[in-house]
C-alpha cells in the first residue's frame, strides 16, 4: 500500500453568510474519490445570519465526516486555525466556501506529495465560474498575466515550484515547524503563510491536475474593495517580515504613483506632458490588447479592460495607503479596512 493510501486529511472551510454556495462546496467534497473514513471536513462558521449555519448542520447530521465549528472571531485566519487544530491529520487543506473541488482533488494532491518529497504544500489551477457578464469579465481579467502578473494558480502558465497557491494542501510538518495562520491578518493570510513556509525551507508545488472552481465576485464595487484590501494588508505583511514578499506586488503601486505624479512631469513643460500622456496611452493600449486576447466579444472586452484598471488601481492605492499607515505613520490597521468585502 502506498503511503498516500494511509494519509488522514482535514479540509478547513472558513465561512460566513454563504447560503448560496456552501451546499455546493460540501457536495463537491462528498463526491471526491477519497476514503471518507480518513477525512474530516471542518466548516468554521463566523456566526452567519443568513441561515448558512443551518445548512452546515444539516450536512453534519447526514455525513459523520462533516463538522460544524463556530468561529466567534469572524475572521478567516481564526477560522483556519480553529479548524486545523480541531483534528489530527497528515494533510491539511484550506478551501473557500465559494469553491468546489474536482473529484480527484485530494487524490491528486496526495500523489504529488508522494513524488515531490520536498513539497510542503501542493495547490492547483482555479477555474473561474461566472454568474453574469460582469463576473465573466472579472474572471477573465484575473486569469490574465496582464491582470495578476505571474500568479500561476490563476493564469495556469506554469507547473512546478511556485511562490504561492490558493486552496493549498499542507503536510502536518509545515504547521509543526512554521506555526499556523497569522490571526492579525484579515487579508493575505495565505500568502503570508506560504511566504513563511518558504523561508523555513519547504517548497510549494503547483499541479494542473489539482483542479477547483471558484465563483467570481459579480460586481466591480466588490472587486475594488477586495483588491484594495489585498494591497493595504500586503504592506502590513511586509512590515512584519521586514521584507517584500514578491516583486509583482510593487507594480500596481508604481503605476498609481505614476498617475498621481503627473504634476511632476509638467515641470518639464511640453516634453514632460508628452512623456506622461504617452505612459497612460501605452497602458490603455496594453490593457485593450490583453482584453481582446481574453475575449473578442466587444461588449465583454470593454468590461475586461475596466476590470484590469480596477485590479491595478485598487491594489496600488491600497498599497500606497498601507505604506503611509504602517511604514510612515506606524499606525495599526484601520477598522473599516478590516471588514471583509463579501
Rounded to an integer, what distance in angstroms lies between the CA atom of residue 319 and that of residue 315? Answer: 6
Residues 79 and 144 in one domain: yes
In a structure prediction context, what are the per-residue pLDDT tens digits for the chain, which is 342 residues long? 455 568 999 999 999 999 999 999 999 999 999 999 999 999 999 999 999 999 999 999 999 999 999 999 999 999 999 999 999 999 999 999 999 999 999 999 999 999 999 999 999 988 888 878 888 898 888 878 888 765 555 555 567 888 888 899 999 999 999 999 999 888 888 888 988 999 999 999 999 989 999 887 678 998 899 899 989 988 988 888 777 766 777 899 999 998 888 777 777 778 878 888 898 999 999 999 999 988 877 778 899 999 999 999 999 999 999 999 999 998 877 655 555 444
Cα 198 from Cα 162, distance rounded (Å):
10
Do residues 211 and 239 share a domain?
no
Residue 232, SS3 per DSSP: helix
Instruction: Report pLDDT for 17.
Output: 94
Would you say 69 and 45 are in contact if contact means Cβ atoms under 8 Å apart?
yes
pLDDT of residue 1: 43
Q: Are 112 and 217 in contact (CB under 8 A)?
A: no
Within-domain flag for 223: no
Q: Are residues 312 and 165 in the same domain?
A: no
Last residue of a domain, one of 191, 218, 245: 218
Q: Note if the pTM is more than 0.85.
A: no
Same domain flag for 204 and 269: no
Q: For residues 15 and 43, is the Cβ–Cβ distance under 8 A?
A: yes
- pLDDT, position 60: 97
Q: Does the residue 153 lie in any domain?
A: yes
User: How many domains does the chain contain in total?
Assistant: 2
Residue 179, domain member (yes or no): yes
**Residue among 225, 218, 16 nearest 129 (CA):** 218
Assigned domain for 224 exists = no
In a shared domain, residues 199 and 264: no
Shared domain for 245 and 188, answered yes or no, is no
Residues 159 and 257 in one domain: no
Dihedrals phi, psi of 17, to nearest 5 degrees: 50, 60
The string of DSSP letters for 30-99 reads HTSSS-GGGEEEEEEE---SSSHHHHHHHHHHH-TTEEEEE-TT-SHHHHHHHHHTTS--SEEEE--TTE
Specify the CATH number for the domain of residue 160: 3.90.550.10
What does DSSP assign to residue 333?
P
Task: Report the pLDDT value the prediction gives residue 341, as an integer from 0 to 100.
Answer: 44
Rounded CA separation 221/227 (Å): 10
Greatest alpha-carbon span in the chain: 75
- Dist CA 319 CA 248 (whole Å): 12
**Same structural domain for residues 190 and 147?**
yes
Residue 61 included in any domain: yes
Residue 228 included in any domain: no
Same domain, 146 and 290: no
Residues 174 and 273 in one domain: no
Rounded CA separation 112/127 (Å): 20
Q: Are 140 and 42 found together in one domain?
A: yes
Asked which of 218, 247, 274 is the last residue of a domain, the reply is 218
Tell me which of 193, 218, 243 is where a domain ends: 218
Asked if residue 20 is part of any domain, the answer here is: yes
Residues 207 and 293 in one domain: no
Bridge partners for 213 per DSSP: 100, 127
Domain extent, residue 315, equals 235-338
104 located within any domain:
yes
Neighbour count for residue 32 (Cβ, 10 Å):
18
Amino acid at each position: 500500500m502506498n503511503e498516500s493510501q494511509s494519509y488522514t486529511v482535514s479540509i478547513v472551510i472558513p465561512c460566513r453568510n454563504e447560503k448560496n454556495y456552501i451546499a455546493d462546496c460540501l457536495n463537491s467534497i462528498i463526491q471526491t474519490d477519497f476514503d471518507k473514513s480518513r477525512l474530516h471536513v471542518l466548516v468554521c462558521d463566523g456566526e452567519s445570519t443568513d441561515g448558512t449555519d443551518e445548512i452546515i448542520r444539516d450536512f453534519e447530521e447526514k455525513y459523520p465526516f462533516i463538522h460544524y465549528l463556530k468561529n466567534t472571531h469572524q475572521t478567516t485566519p481564526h477560522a483556519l486555525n480553529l479548524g486545523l487544530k480541531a483534528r489530527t491529520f497528515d494533510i491539511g487543506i484550506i478551501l473557500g466556501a465559494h469553491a468546489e473541488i474536482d473529484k480527484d482533488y485530494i487524490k491528486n494532491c496526495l500523489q504529488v506529495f508522494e513524488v515531490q518529497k520536498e513539497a510542503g504544500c501542493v495547490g492547483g489551477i482555479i477555474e473561474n465560474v461566472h454568474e453574469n457578464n460582469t463576473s465573466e469579465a472579472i474572471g477573465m481579467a484575473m486569469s490574465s498575466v496582464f491582470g495578476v502578473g505571474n500568479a500561476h494558480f490563476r493564469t495556469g502558465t506554469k507547473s512546478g515550484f511556485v511562490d504561492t497557491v490558493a486552496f493549498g494542501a499542507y503536510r502536518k510538518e509545515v504547521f509543526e515547524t512554521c506555526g499556523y495562520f497569522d490571526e492579525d491578518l484579515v487579508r493575505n493570510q495565505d500568502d503570508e503563510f506560504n511566504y513563511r513556509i518558504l523561508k523555513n525551507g519547504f517548497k510549494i508545488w503547483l499541479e494542473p491536475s489539482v483542479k477547483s472552481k471558484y465563483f467570481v465576485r459579480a460586481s466591480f464595487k466588490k472587486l475594488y474593495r477586495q483588491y484594495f484590501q489585498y494591497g493595504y494588508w500586503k504592506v502590513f505583511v511586509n512590515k512584519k517580515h521586514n521584507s517584500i514578499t514578491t516583486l509583482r506586488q510593487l507594480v500596481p503601486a508604481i503605476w498609481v504613483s505614476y498617475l498621481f505624479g503627473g504634476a511632476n512631469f509638467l515641470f518639464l513643460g511640453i516634453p514632460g506632458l508628452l512623456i506622461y500622456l504617452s505612459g497612460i496611452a501605452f497602458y490603455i493600449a496594453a490593457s485593450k490588447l490583453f482584453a481582446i486576447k481574453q475575449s473578442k466579444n466587444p461588449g465583454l472586452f470593454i468590461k475586461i479592460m475596466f476590470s484590469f484598471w480596477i485590479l491595478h488601481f485598487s491594489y496600488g492605492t491600497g498599497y500606497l495607503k498601507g505604506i503611509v499607515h504602517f511604514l510612515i505613520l506606524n499606525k495599526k490597521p484601520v477598522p473599516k479596512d478590516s471588514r471583509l468585502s463579501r
